[in-house]
Amino acid sequence: MQLKKIFSIIAAAAVCGSLFAGCASNETADNGSGDAKYNIGVLQYADHPSLENCLEGFTQGLDSEGISYELTAQSAKNDDSTNTQIAQQFASKQMDLVCGIATPSAQACYNACFEAGIPVIFNAVSDPVAAKLAESETQAMDGITGVSDKLPVEAQLELIREMLPEAKKIGILYTTSEANSVSTIEDYKAKVADYGFELVERGITNAADIPQAVDILVNEVDCITNMTDNTVVNNLPVLIEKATASGVPVFGSEEEQVGNGCIASAGIDYIELGRKAGVIAARVLNGEDVSSIPYETMTESKITINPDAAEAVNVEIPQSITDRAEVKTAPSEES
């Protein structure tokens, strides 16, 4: 099912506390019932389904906690200049709270909002410490916390090995300037040998590099595994088309990528990821100091398969996987 972007939502909120807990300002709107309604800005780095799922989940989390709010959500369209401009606009408007979805947007929001005393919640940040958005796994930085989408790399490698018992080389395409991608690449490097694989990586600087990088990669590997790299995910159809034409299976990192043509994934639920961020945001709006809340990491993963995509590259999905997997097909095939 295709998910609609949410760009203006009204639900519910109450706020007080320290500077970054977000005490209500005199300009905060009233919803007519005497309860304060707070202005929340959401900056989404790119327009692809996993980040849209984060946004959907974020509003679910706020709603589940009875928060009253008016939400302004904007996309940077995978453009760094736009990303910075939107974050600065949120800061100048003195939002009560801002959420950055994906590492570049979380960084931009924090840079823009810290001096303004606006608490920031990050979502879909694979390595908050490396991205300089957390002091450690147990200690938040001043003014920011959130939820990490650190990929379950070992679960993914187990899945690939089970589906492709003869495979030797795994390829990964990633953007060299994305901190989350660089961090995840290191995780793969540390673990691929344990599953009998060799890692072949290809770095890109922008979307224009993808076609040539894929053309090279498909001749070097037995399969490709995708991460949550925003530039790559935003151009996933290019990767899928070229890899499929070469008979190279592509594994996704979450269910929406599988629905868009990857053959399978052992990934996380991005709606649930967003929901957790929304609940944390509610805690801050209800008075907790954002700087005292360590970030959370999703620990649950699920297997998703796309039988049609697997058939297109002559991969037979073992029954042992089918029995415990959720099936995801292309949006045009779903009712």
Q: Per residue of the chain (335 residues), what is the pLDDT tens digit?
A: 333 334 333 233 333 333 444 433 334 544 444 467 999 999 999 998 889 999 999 999 999 999 999 999 999 999 999 999 999 999 999 999 999 999 999 999 999 999 999 999 999 999 999 999 999 999 999 999 999 999 999 999 999 999 999 999 999 999 999 888 998 999 999 999 999 999 999 999 999 999 999 999 999 999 999 998 989 999 999 999 999 999 999 999 999 999 999 999 999 899 999 999 999 999 999 999 999 999 999 888 899 999 999 999 999 999 999 999 999 987 654 43
Q: How many whole angstroms separate alpha carbon 76 and alpha carbon 54?
A: 15
For the full predicted model, state whether its pTM sits above 0.85.
no
Q: Which amino acid is at 162?
A: E
83 CB-near residues (< 8 Å, 6+ apart): 43, 45, 76, 104, 105, 108
Three-state SS annotation for 60-98:
HHHHHCCCEEEEEEEECCCCHHHHHHHHHHHHHCCCCEE
Q: How many whole angstroms separate alpha carbon 144 and alpha carbon 290?
A: 6
Q: Is residue 3 part of a domain?
A: no
Q: How many whole angstroms separate alpha carbon 26 and alpha carbon 174?
A: 45
- Does residue 71 sit in the same domain as residue 199? no
- Does residue 198 sit in the same domain as residue 134? no
pLDDT of residue 331: 64
- Does residue 183 sit in the same domain as residue 307? yes
- Does residue 311 sit in the same domain as residue 325? yes
- Does residue 317 sit in the same domain as residue 214? yes
Task: Check which CATH number belongs to the domain holding 225 and give it.
Answer: 3.40.50.2300
Domain count, the chain: 2
- Does residue 74 sit in the same domain as residue 172? no
- Does residue 280 sit in the same domain as residue 320? no
Q: Is residue 281 part of a domain?
A: yes
Q: How many whole angstroms separate alpha carbon 277 and alpha carbon 40?
A: 13
Q: Is residue 1 part of a domain?
A: no
Q: Is residue 15 part of a domain?
A: yes
CB contact burial 239-270 (16+ within 10 A = b; e otherwise): bbebbbeeebbbbbbbbbbbbbbbbbbbbbbb
- Does residue 186 sit in the same domain as residue 307? yes
Q: Is residue 247 part of a domain?
A: yes
Q: Is residue 254 part of a domain?
A: yes
Q: How many whole angstroms separate alpha carbon 150 and alpha carbon 252?
A: 14
What is the side-by-side strand order in the sheet with 326-327?
Answer: 264-267, 302-305, 326-327
Q: Is residue 145 part of a domain?
A: yes
Determine contact, residues 32/304, Cβ cutoff 8 Å: no
- Does residue 188 sit in the same domain as residue 285? no
DSSP 17-70: SSTTTTPPPTT-EE-SSS-EEEEEEEEESS-SHHHHHHHHHHHHHHHHTT-EEE
Q: Which domain, by its residues, includes 177?
A: 153-267+301-333
pLDDT of residue 180: 83
DSSP 110-121: HHHHTTTT--EE
> Which H/E stretch holds residue 8?
strand 8-12
Which residues face 98 on adjacent strands?
41, 120
10 CB-near residues (< 8 Å, 6+ apart): 31, 37, 69, 70, 71
Closest to 254 (Cα-Cα) out of 240, 267, 263: 267
Alpha-carbon separation of residue 179 from 46, 105, 211, 259 (angstroms): 16, 12, 22, 26
Tokens of 109: 């929001």
- Does residue 244 sit in the same domain as residue 290? no
Q: Is residue 175 part of a domain?
A: yes
Greatest Cα pair distance, the chain, in angstroms, is 65
- Does residue 174 sit in the same domain as residue 323? yes
Q: How many whole angstroms separate alpha carbon 125 and alpha carbon 102?
A: 5
- Does residue 189 sit in the same domain as residue 322? yes
Backbone angles phi, psi at 251, to 5 degrees: -100, 140
